[in-house]
Amino acid sequence: MNVPFVDLAAQTAEVRPEIDEALRAALDRSAFYGGPALTAFEDAFARYCGAAHAVAVASGTDALELALRAIGIGAGDVVVTVPHTFIATAEAVIQTGATPRFVDVERRTYNMDPAELARYLTESCERDTAGVVRERATGLRVAAVIPVHLYGLPCAMAEILAIAEAFGLEVVEDACQAHGAEYRLPDGRTAKAGTLGRAGCFSFYPAKNLGAIGEAGALVTNDAAVAERVRILRDHGQRERYIHVSPDGVNARMDAIQAAVLSIKLTRLPFWNERRRQAAAWYAEQLGDSGLQLPWEPNGASHVYHLYVVRVPERDRVRQELADAGVATGVHYPVPLHLQPAFAQLGFERGRYPVAERAAAEVVSLPMYPHITQEQVSYVAAQLRHAVAPLMAARR
Ligand SMILES: *Cc1c(COP(=O)(O)O)cnc(C)c1O
């Protein structure tokens, strides 16, 4: 049996007639930018998330950068995030002129450890005479935190929001892997990932839970001023045609074809997320007694399994055995951000974020997509159990 890592063809096939129709309509009308397709998607996505506003942009990275800039983050600021994420999280910070700082993640969720965030703020920062929290070593203002809902699991947002509030930090959520994931707040209210901070950022890269047929992204916010500023920034700083009110605008527009396709796929997203959760339940059934660390869904959080990640010793050998058996796997991500060559100038040494470093060495992502079958999951699980059996026996 061959099990691919993702199966975009199956997803496309499910919506192909509607997509063909949307493409034909766009070509017939030469409707490639803006217009009703764009606003229809923005409205639908805002409604789906339960946010007041959605602003469509060209990528998840653009969403993060423009969200930060719209809330006033830039040179002289520190933005705190995690080292165990895709590089775009930190790239967006650097694009604004701000400096990224990292705090370690939790072992079981792979998400930001709120205790580590609090420790950084209390041990490495202090308030100046005006009450602004500054990093002691550099004097930089600590302005914002980016929790990343990695693999589709919401972070411990109640704790992170409370810490951010106490230290006067803005919260921008990186929800690029968590479309539709839910989080229950202490007051019992349930909110979708991306709607709890000042802004939540999404990627519609084709393989994400909601994927375009090219590049696209969006941010959601309940703050009308933030939405308005991002609308201006994404379109060359113009408020109306050829009246440019912002000198630092960019071209970060989403094209109308992506918007039309995303509107179609958005109607399937709840169903596709349910299918992912079903596949995760099958994996858990088959691997529950394997001795491997499986994904964990803390009480009150609803995981949407963008990725199904387990930890294995001797990862290279295990992945090779799986590949030989026709099972494709991935690694998200093999090198934590603080050890990336691109960030060597930030001066981080190995050992600084031990939980993230250990995760980077051990994680492996199993095949996961809405159209995976129970037979495929069983086959992957059986091959994985076979590959790790000698290791698990040695451990006992
Ligand atoms: C995909 C992703 C991004 C970036 O999104 P793009 O659309 O590729 O720019 C940012 N953060 C995380 C965690 C992602 O997975």
- Tens digit of pLDDT per residue, the chain (396 long)? 999 999 999 999 999 999 999 999 999 999 898 889 999 999 999 999 999 999 999 999 999 999 999 999 999 999 999 999 999 999 999 999 999 999 999 999 999 999 999 999 999 999 999 999 999 999 999 999 999 999 999 999 999 999 999 999 999 999 999 999 999 999 999 999 999 999 999 999 999 999 999 999 999 999 999 999 999 999 999 988 998 999 899 999 999 999 999 999 999 999 999 999 999 999 999 999 999 999 999 999 999 999 999 999 899 999 999 999 999 999 999 999 999 999 988 888 899 999 999 999 999 999 999 999 999 999 999 999 999 988 887 776
Query: Residue 264, SS3?
Result: helix
What tokens were used for 91?
């790239």
Contact 389, 396 (CB under 8 A): no
Check whether residue 291 and residue 256 sit in a common domain. no
Query: What's the rounded Cα separation, in Å, for the pair 46 and 55?
Result: 9
Contact between 132 and 121 (Cβ < 8 Å): no
- Cα–Cα distances (Å) from 121 to 103, 172, 343, 350, in that order, read 10, 17, 22, 21
Question: Using CA atoms, how far apart are residues 176 and 61, in angstroms rounded to an integer?
Answer: 9
- Do 236 and 348 fall into the same domain? no
Distance, CA of 388 to CA of 227 (rounded, Å): 49
Same-domain status, 99 and 204: yes
Do the beta carbons of residue 330 and residue 363 sit within 8 Å? no
Residues 229 and 273 in one domain: no
Please count the structural domains in the chain.
2
Same domain, 233 and 381: no
Containing structural domain, residue 361: 269-395
The answer on 362 and 310 residing in a single domain is yes
Whether residue 336 is contained in a domain is answered as yes
Ligand 1, pocket residues at CB < 6 Å? 59-61, 85-86, 88-89, 148, 174, 176-177, 203, 205, 217
Residue 275 sits in the same domain as residue 325: yes
Q: What pLDDT is stored for residue 396 in this prediction?
A: 64
Domain final residue pick, 233, 266, 299: 266
Domain membership of residue 1 (yes or no) is no
Q: Is residue 3 part of a domain?
A: no
Protein residue whose Cα sits closest to atom 5 of ligand 1 = 60
Q: Is 327 exposed, middle or buried (0-12, 13-18, 19+ CB in 10 A)?
A: buried
Residues contacting 63, CB < 8 A, separation 6+: 55, 57, 176, 201, 202, 203, 217, 218, 219
- From 247, 266, 285, the end of a domain falls on 266
Dist. CA 296–CA 103, nearest whole Å:
20
The atom of ligand 1 lying closest to the CA of 85 is: 13
Judgement on whether residues 260 and 302 belong to the same structural domain of the protein: no
Q: Report which ligand 1 atom has the smallest distance to the Cα of 217.
A: 7
Q: Which of 81, 85, 86 to mutate to test the pocket of ligand 1 (most atoms within 8 A of CB)?
A: 86
- My answer on whether 375 and 246 are in the same domain is no
Judge if 242 and 290 occupy the same domain: no
pLDDT of residue 394: 77
- Same domain flag for 253 and 320: no
Does the global pTM surpass 0.95?
A: yes
Domain boundary among 266, 291, 314: 266
CATH of the domain at 384: 3.90.1150.10
CATH number for the domain spanning 27: value is 3.40.640.10
Burial of 238: CB neighbours in 10 Å, binned 0-12, 13-18, 19+: middle
Same domain, yes or no: 160 and 276 = no
- Pocket probe for ligand 1: among 174, 203, 258, 333, the residue whose CB has the most ligand atoms within 8 Å is 203
Is 319 domain-assigned?
Answer: yes
